Amino acid sequence: MAGRDSIVLTDARPAAPVTKKSAAKSNASERGKLRIGDDWNAIRIIALSQSNPLKAIAEFVENSIDARARTVVIERGRERGSQYLVVRDDGEGVPCGADGLPDFKYVATHICDSIKRRLKEEDAGAGVQGEFGIGLLSFWTVGHTLIMTSTGADHRAYQMVMTKGDPRYAVKPKRVLFGESGTEIRISPLLNGIRSLTGEKIQWYLAAELRDRIRNSHVRVTVIDKVARKQYQVEPRQFEGRLLHQLPPVRSTFGEAYAELYLTAPADERCVALTKSGTRVVADLAILPGLEHPPWNSRYLQGLIDVPYVNLTPGTRSGIVHDEHYAAFVDSLGPLEAHLNSVIEAQRRAEEEQANTESLRAIQRAFREAMLVLPREEYDWFEIRSPSVQGAGAGQPQEGSAEAVGEVEVSATGVAEPVVTSLQRKFFEHPGPLHSVVISPAAATVAVGQARHFRALPRDRARRRVEDDLVFTWEITEGSGTLSSLSDQEVEFQSPLWPGLVRLSLVVSQRDVRCSAEALITVADRLDVTVGAATVSARGLPGYTFERAAGELWRSRFDAERNLIVVNSGHRDFVFATRSRALQLRYLVRLYIKELVLKNFVGLPADQVAERMIELSLYVEEKLKLP
C-alpha cells in the first residue's frame, strides 16, 4: 500500500506541465526571417500597385534612359481592331548572359532585385534612376500582353512574352530580317479603360514627369499617334514667370536639394513639384505634411525642388516615406521659405499698386464717357476735361468753367476738339428748338455777404446750345438774397448776412416753349479756406487711397487737402467686395458717385440726393469696363 502510494505520488508529478512551460519559453525566444508565403500573390500585388497608366509609360521611358538610349519612340496604333502601344529605343538593350543571348530569364525571375540597385551600391550607377526592379510589371495597368524584344550577341532578335494574370513567361527568337539594337516593348491589346489615352496626353505627361531627366540626358522622345494621325516631340516643360535667383541653399545632414522656382501671377494651377533625380514624385509640394502653408500654397510659385535623398514608396513611385530623411528636408526649407515669403509680399504690394492705378483709369474713363451723356455742368467738382483744356482756362474765373464746357467739346478719350465757329457749321449742327435748361452750378455754397455767378444753359433735344429768341426770367422762390438782373442769361447772386438755404428758379421761353430749372444755394456762416482752395485747384477726378478702420461705419470720405478719396479698407462691405476684381471696381465707383453727389448737391433733400446718385450710377456703371 505504501509502495502503491509512493508510486501514485511519483506519478502525481506529471511531466506534462513542465513540458508546456518550457515549450512556451522556447516559442517566446524564437527568432527568424520574414519570407513570402505565396510568391505569385506577392507578384500580383506589386504589379497592380501602379494605378496610373501614364506613370507606367514613364517607367518604360526611364528604363530606356537608364539604358543610355539617345532616341525613344512611343507609338500608339490600332491593329486587327485592337489598340497597341510600342516603346522603342536605341539603347544598350537587355544585358546578355554567358550564352550571348539576352538574359530575359534574369528579368523574369529577379523581380524586386534590380541590377540598377547593385550598380548604385558599387558607385557605377550614375544617372540611373530605377532601383526596385518592378517597373516592367506595371504593364498590367496598360494592357494584357507584353512582348519585349532585344538583340543578342549574334545580332539576332529575341523576345520575351508575358501575359497579365499569368505567372508563366516564354522566350523565343523573333523572325526578322535584321536585328536592331536597343529594346522594344509592345503592349496589346490595351485595357478598355485607357482607350482614350491619346498621344497628346502622353506627350504632356512625359514633358512634366521626366522634365529634368529628358533635359539632362539629351534624349529625343517622340510620340507617334497613328490613331489620331499626329506626331509629337516631347519637349521638357518650360515654367512661366520670372526665375528667382540667389535663393538660400536647402541643405540637410543627408545632402543638398536643388530649387528651381519661378514667380508668377497667382492661379490655382500654380504649384511647386517635388522631384528625385529629375523624376517628378509629387506634383504639388503643398499637399505634403508640414508644408501646407505659405509660400507653397500661395499659388504665386511654379517650379520644382529636386531632393535626391528622400525615400520613395515602391510601386506607385508617387509617395514619400516620412522618415528622418523627409523630416530633415522639411526642416532645411526654413531659410528658403522666409525668403520666398518676402518676395511674394513685395509682389503682392506691387500688384495692388498696379491694380489701383488700373482701377483709377477705368473709373476715370467711365466718368468721362458718362459725362458725354449727363449734364456735365451740374458736376463741376469732378470736371472731366483734358489737362490742356484746363491749362488754357486756368486764368479764367471759376464761374466761366461751365461756359467753357459748353464751348469746348470733349471726345470720349478726353481730348479737346477745336471750337467750331458759326462759319464752319454744317446744316445739321444748327440747334433746334428749346428742349431743356439747366442752371450752372446747380448747387453751390456761398459765404454770408458774398456773391456768386449763375448761368442759364438752354439746350435742344440733341443737347446743343440754343441761343436765339430766348427770354430769361430769374426768381428767388425760397430764402433771401438779391439778383443783379432778372432777365439776363447770367446773373450774380448776392447772399444775405445770415446763413440759410436759398432756392433759385429760372424760366426760359422760346415762342410757345417754356422750360424751367432750379438751383440750390447754401449760405454758410463761413467757408473752410483750406477746403475751398483745394477744391478750386484740384480739377478732375481725384485719386483714392486706403485706410483701415475696421469696426467704423464710414465707407469713404473726401480729403480735400490731399485731393483724395479715402476708402475704409476695413469696412465689411469692402472686404466682401474684394471677392472679385469686378465687384471691387463697382464698389469703388459707387463710393466715387457718393462723394460726387454729396459735394455738388449740398443741402438737397434726401430723396433728390438719391435721385442724383441713381442717375449717375446708371450711366457710369454702364460705361465701366474691367482693365
**562-572 pLDDT per residue, tens:** 778 899 988 99
**pLDDT tier for residue 254 given thresholds of 50, 70 and 90:** very high
Residues 552 and 624 in one domain: yes
Say if residue 179 is in the same domain as residue 251. no
**Domain co-membership, 84 together with 120:** yes
Among 525, 550, 566, the domain boundary falls at: 525
CA distance 22 to 12: 19
Yes or no: say if 285 and 250 are a contact pair by the CB < 8 Å rule.
Answer: no
What's the pLDDT at 483? 92
The answer to whether residue 2 sits within a structural domain is: no
Spatial neighbors of 126 by CB under 8 A, at least 6 apart, are none
Closest CA to 72 of 219, 253, 273: 219
Share of the chain above pLDDT 70, in %: 80
What number of other Cβ atoms are within 10 A of residue 525's Cβ?
8
Looking up residue 155, the CATH number of its domain turns out to be 3.30.565.10
Q: Is residue 328 domain-resident?
A: yes
Q: In what order do the strands lie in the sheet with 71-79?
A: 169-173, 157-163, 143-151, 183-190, 82-89, 71-79, 220-225, 230-233
Residue 212 and residue 191 share a domain: yes
- Specify the number of domains making up the chain: 4
- The verdict on residue 390 lying in a domain is no
606 contacts: CB under 8 Å, gap ≥ 6? none
Instruction: Report d(CA 334, CA 330) in Å as an integer.
Output: 8
Q: Residue 1 falls within a domain, yes or no? A: no
Of 454, 441, 513, the closest CA to residue 481 belongs to: 454
Q: Which range has the worst mean pLDDT, 70-84, 114-128, 306-320?
A: 114-128
Evaluate if residue 503 carries a pLDDT over 50: yes
Same domain (yes/no): 353, 322 = no
Residues 216 and 272 in one domain: no
Could you read off the pLDDT of 431-476 as tens digits, one per residue? Answer: 888 999 988 888 888 888 899 999 999 988 887 888 888 999 999 9
Q: Are residues 229 and 257 in the same domain?
A: no
Please state whether the peptide bond connecting residue 295 to the residue before it is cis, i.e. omega within 30 degrees of 0: yes
398 vs 195, residue with greater confidence: 195
Instruction: Tell me, yes or no, whether 46 and 78 share the same domain.
Output: yes
- Co-location of 477 and 553 in the same domain: no
- The answer to the question of residue 27 being in a domain is no
Distance CA 22, CA 472 (A): 127
Over residues 122-136, the mean pLDDT reads 55
- Give pLDDT, residue 30: 81
Q: Specify whether 264 is located in the same domain as 215.
A: no
8 A C-beta contact, residue 550 and residue 524:
no
25 within some domain: no
Is it the case that residue 622 has pLDDT exceeding 60?
A: yes
Looking up residue 514, the CATH number of its domain turns out to be 2.60.40.10
Cell 466682401 maps to which residue?
576
Burial group, residue 22, by CB count within 10 angstroms (0-12, 13-18, 19+): exposed
Q: Is residue 3 part of a domain?
A: no
Total Cβ atoms within 10 A of residue 170? 12
What single letter denotes the amino acid at residue 410? V
Instruction: List C-alpha distances in Å: 171 to 149, 174, 436, 594.
Output: 10, 9, 100, 85
What's the domain range around 613? Answer: 334-384+540-627
Residue 361 lies in a domain: yes
| Final residue belonging to a domain, choices 233, 256, 283 | 233
Chain-centroid distance of CA 551 in Å reads 31
pLDDT tops 60 at residue 7: no
Of 184, 208, 233, which residue is a domain's last?
A: 233
452's grid cell? 456768386
Looking at the fold, whether 375 and 464 belong to one and the same domain comes out as no
Does 520 lie in the same domain as 410?
Answer: yes
